[in-house]
A and B are shown apart, each in its own frame.
Chain A
Amino acid sequence: GQNIDQPTEMTATEGAIVQINCTYQTSGFNGLFWYQQHAGEAPTFLSYNVLDGLEEKGRFSSFLSRSKGYSYLLLKELQMKDSASYLCAAYTGRRALTFGSGTRLQVQP
């Protein structure tokens, strides 16, 4: 079966750093995606990790440990516009993404 877990909600302060964790157990695994989704809008691609380690892209970084079935998304210098849901999704090689339920991040002033 496919199981992807991430916290339901998180709150952080503008200018701070926040880490959103994701654990996965999937039958077949090729890589881990992070998407951002504002309410009522489409998921927007943020990052894709295939190999273990940290990938940095501006204010956003994503980490993957395949042996632990674990990933995190790190957001630095938080801005109000970063308030959104962050979706962890596993690519199992079947041309389908399996999404977690998403973490709703609220950035406060």
Chain B
Amino acid sequence: EPEVTQTPSHQVTQMGQEVILRCVPISNHLYFYWYRQILGQKVEFLVSFYNNEISEKSEIFDDQFSVERPDGSNFTLKIRSTKLEDSAMYFCASSPRDNQETQYFGPGTRLLVL
């Protein structure tokens, strides 16, 4: 069964550094998303992406964040200058054209900012 994959599974970085989190959505899916989950808290929407542009973004997704689909398979989330409070699990998700509401999540990248 096809699944969303994410790399790396864990990342430790210093405050102020840039990080890029990578995702490979399910191959025939057209809608892509990033969510985050701070330890012990709820899953929070960051951004949705369709047709090579951002569809929606939350108030969390400020100028420090950006997304890109650099090729036909990868979908990336960049955090330009990490803060301590960016420490969280970051989930990528994707959904197909004919069932765009149902989002399938990847295993996540655990980001720790020191």
- B105 contacts A44, C-beta separation under 8 Å: yes
Q: How many residues of chain B are within 8 Å of chain A by beta carbon?
A: 24
Instruction: Tell yes or no: A59 within 8 A of B by CB.
Output: no
Known contacts A95-B56, A96-B56; decide if A42 and B45 are in contact (CB<8 Å): no
Tell me the complex Cα distance, A94–B48, Å.
Answer: 9
Which of A41, A48, A96 has the most chain B CB within a 10 Å cutoff? A96
Q: How many residues of chain A are within 8 Å of chain B by beta carbon?
A: 23
Residues in A with CB closer than 8 Å to B107 are 41-42
| Chain A interface (Cβ < 8 Å from any Cβ of B) | 30-31, 33, 35, 40-45, 48, 87, 89, 91, 94-102
| Chain B interface (Cβ < 8 Å from any Cβ of A) | 31, 33, 35, 41-45, 48, 50, 55-56, 58, 89, 91, 100-108
